Structure 1
Amino acid sequence: MNFVEALEQHRDEIAGACVACGKCFVACPMTTAIGIDSAEPAAVLHGMVDILRGGEGTAEAVRWGGACTSSGLCADTCEYGIDPRMLVRLANYARIQRQNGPAVKANAMKSFRSMAKTVRVVSRLQLPKHEIERLQPEVGARVCAAKPDVVFYTGCNIHKTPHILVLCLDVLEHIGVTYQVIGGTSACCGINQFRAGDGETSGRAGLSTLSQIQAIEAKTNVSWCPSCQSQFDEIIIPNYEKITEDHSFSLQPFYEFLEQKLDLLRPLFRKTVNKKVALNERPGLPGVTRAVKNILAVIPGIELIELDVPRVGLMSNYLTVTPRFKDDLREKEFRAAADAGVTTLATVFHACHRELCHFEKSVSFEIVNVMEIIGESMGLYAEDIYKRIKMMDGVERMINECRDLIAEHNLDPDEARDILLADQLAARPLQGEFMERS
């Protein structure tokens, strides 16, 4: 059995097990946002099953599947052993394959190359070569002479916000954990290819990365990126197990790993951090949210504030499918944070940080990543260069700021300008009025 065959078998199993009760549809936070909340839940699920089996489904089923933001709030609703999020992902995969046919491979390659180019350029606009090499070693490079405690699988897009990754590695070193980094575009999880309907290339990429991680034989395999974590948990690992009958491979989210090391972390939290912190929460990986709160709870001086706002999506960029809904959620969160008098809105993941950090100049609180708070209490610091650049007025000022690194990495200034311009314009301005930071 190859990867595509395993994937199709999985799809058939879910289609056969779903009784179309519709409970997962009722639990979904996106139905109102896309205007199908009045649809009959059972009918929508019958449509999803039809899509899984290669049919056209229904308009509501297609619309619902396309709006999935991987919130995971449906996870506990099924009484028949189905992961509803997996059902939706496989239905989208089947629909895109049916819709695009032979074009899926070209579309997948285009998507991956676009992502890879952006990661490469944005990371190199921030760091010199020797720091890039620390965060993204070449494939096959051995960092540890012996088997490390941890393989730290970074994924790709965290390299756009490298200060987060620097702090992760510094924390591991300070608690005495040896590690080897695997990540960047040479260690792809296959999610871009899967979203484009190219199961073959997605499987080849994900299984190659799985093999790279296995070869290091670390005690624990730790991941940073929630997209990579979900791709491995829901797509790569289950089908790897079908192919090989090997059930020994797993990935653990980084924050959950740190939570298990609290006894080592606690004495290192020497500096009091007097901040009222609200989390930019995402519900897709609930264990991560729990872990982050437990870690922050032992940092002296931190007061954690719970905001009464909706929690939606795996990361902020997952909400791009509904731009107005995304903007409204962000502004509700900003308003609630301002009303609560927080000093700090802390992002958990890198994509959320990229999309929110530059709004710091328009609100009454700072916007930092959780790793910056952890680092501050431990006496560790890495400059958020991404935020500093993104908060600049005008792309030419950004290019001028990065001119030395553009030369060092032999980047094309026009290509860098285009990427910065696209990134700068991707964020919508605030609609409401918020206090300027003092």
Structure 2
Amino acid sequence: MDFVEALKERMDEIASACTACGKCFTACPMTEPVGIASAEPTGVLHGMIDLLRGGEGTDEAVRWGAACSSSGLCVEACDYGVDPRMLVRLANYARLQRIGGAAVKSNAMKSFRAMAKTVRIVSRLQLPKAEIDRLQPATGVRVMTSTPDVALYTGCNIHKTPHILVLCLDVLERIGVTYQVIGGTSACCGVNQFRAGDGETSGRAGLSTLTQIQAIGAQRKVSWCPSCQSQFDEIIIPNYEKMTQDTSFHLQPFYEYLEERLELLRPHFKKTVNKTVALNERPGLPGVTRAVKNILQAIPGIKLVELDVPRVGLMVNYLTVTPKFKDQLREKEFRAAADAGVTTLATVFHACHRELCHYEKDVSFEIINVMEIIGESMGLHAEDIYKRIKMMDDINHMIDGCRELIAEHNLDIDEARDILLADQLAAKPLQGEFMEQEEHS
């Protein structure tokens, strides 16, 4: 059995197991933003089942599948042991397979190459070669003379905000954990290809990376990226198990790994960090949210504040299909954080950090990553160069600030300019209502 055959078998199994009760549809936070909240839930689920079986589905089913933000709120709603998030992902994959034809592989390759190019350039606009090699060794692993405690799988896009990864490695070293890093575009989870409907290439990439992680020989296999974690948990590992009958491979989210070692961390929380912190929470991996809160509560001086705001998506970039909804959620969160008097809005994941950090100049609180708080208490620091660059208002200032690294890495300056400009254009200003409220507070 190959990967695509395993996918097909799983789609058939899920289609047969789903009763189309519609509870998952009712629990989904994306139905209203995409205009299908009034649809009959059972009818939508019958449409999803039809998609899984190679049919056209229904308009509402198609729109629901395309809008999935992987919040995971549907999972708890199911009484029948079906993973609705996986159902929706597989149904959308089946739709793309059916309508894409020969263009599927081309679209998947374009998506991956665009991502890889951006990761390569943005990371090199921030760090010299020696530091790049530490975070993403050219061989795919950090060479060690003995088996490490941890194989740390970073994924690709964290390299756009490398200070977060630097702090992850520094924290592991501080508590005496040995590791080998594997990640970057040479160790792809296959999520971009899968989203484009190319199961064959997605499987080849994900299974290759799984093999690379296994080859390190570490007992614990830890991942940073929630997109990669979801892709492995829902797509790669289940298919791998079908193909090999090997059920031993498991990836654990980084924050959950740290939470298990909280007693090792505590003695290193030597500095009091006087911050009132609200988390930029995402519900897709609830164990990560629990772990982050437990770790932060162990840091002297930290006061955690719960914001009464919607929690949607695996990361904020999963809401790109509904830009207005994404903007509204961000401004609700900023307003709630300001009203609560927080000093700090802490992002958990890298994509959320990329999209939010530059707004720090417009709000009454700092926007930093959780790893920066952990690092501060442990006496560790890594500059957030990404935020510094993104907060610049002028593209020429950005280029001037990166000119030495552009030369060191032999980057094309016009290509670097284009990528920085595109990234800066994504940094939309806050809406007037919030700004007026801030100016008068």
TM bin (shorter chain): over 0.9
Partners of 2:70 and 2:37 in 1: how far apart? Answer: 18
C-alpha offsets along residues 108-132 of structure 1, whole Å, 9 cap, x if unaligned? 1000000000000000000000000
Partner of residue 198, structure 1? 198
Amino acid paired to 2:131 = E
The 1-side partners of 2:18 and 2:358 are apart by 44
What does 1:12-23 align with in structure 2 at a 5 Å threshold? 12-23=12-23
Following superposition, the deviation at residue 300 of structure 1 comes to 0.2
What amino acid maps onto 1:155 in structure 2? G
Note the 1:115-126 alignment, pairs <5 A: 115-126=115-126
Residue 438 of structure 2 is matched in structure 1 by 435
What number of residue pairs does the alignment pair up? 438
Q: Is the 8 A contact 2:272 2:300 kept in 1?
A: yes
Report the AA paired with residue 76 of structure 1: E
1:33 partner letter: P
Q: Alpha-carbon deviation of 1:427? A: 2.4
1:10-409 maps to which residues of 2 (within 5 A)?
Answer: 10-139=10-139, 141-409=141-409
Instruction: String of CA shifts for 1:120-154, please: whole Å, max 9, x gaps.
Output: 00000000000000000123545221000000000
Distance 1:395 1:49, change over 3 A: same
Structure 2 unpaired stretches of 5+: none
**Which residue type is aligned with residue 345 of structure 1?**
L
* C-alpha distance after superposition, 1:57-107 (max 9, x if no partner): 111111111111000001112122110000000000000111111111111
In 2, Cα distance between the equivalents of 1:357 and 1:160?
13
Using the alignment, how far apart are the partners of 1:125 and 1:428 within structure 2? Answer: 22
Could you state the TM-score of these two structures normalised by the residue count of structure 2? 0.98
Match of 2:428, SS state, is: coil
Unpaired segments of 5 or more residues in structure 1? Answer: none
C-alpha distance in structure 1 between counterparts of 2:140 and 2:169, whole Å: 19
| Distance (whole Å) between structure 1 residues aligned to residue 145 and residue 413 of structure 2 | 39
Secondary structure of the residue aligned to 2:222 is: strand
Cα distance per residue 1:23-51 (max 9 Å; x no partner): 00000011111111111000000001111
2:210 is aligned with what amino acid? L
Give the conservation status (yes or no) of the 8 Å contact 1:363–1:437.
no
**What RMSD, in angstroms, separates the aligned Cα atoms of the two structures?**
1.2
The one-letter code of the counterpart of 1:314 is L
Alpha-carbon distance in structure 2 between the residues aligned to 1:436 and 1:367: 18
- Rounded Cα–Cα distance in structure 1 between residues aligned with 2:33 and 2:403: 43
Contact map agreement 1:126 1:402 (CA 8 A) in 2: yes
- The CA distance in 2 between the partners of 1:419 and 1:22, in whole Å, is 42
CA distance in 1, matches of 2:25, 2:82: 13
Partners of 2:278 and 2:152 in 1: CA distance: 27
Q: Deviations over 1:162-198 (max 9, x none)?
A: 0000000000000000000000000000000000100
Residues 140, 229 of structure 1: alpha-carbon distance in 2 compared, 3 angstrom cutoff = closer
Q: Tell me if structure 2 keeps the 8 A contact 1:213–1:221.
A: yes
The amino acid that maps onto 2:164 is I
- After TM superposition, the score normalised by the length of structure 1 is 0.99
Asked whether the equivalents of residues 155 and 188 of structure 2 are also in contact (C-alpha less than 8 Å), the reply is yes
Relative distance call for 1:150 and 1:141 in structure 2 (3 A) is closer
In structure 1, C-alpha distance between the alignment counterparts of 2:142 and 2:43, rounded to whole Å: 54
Q: Within 2, Cα distance between the matches of 1:113 and 1:16?
A: 36
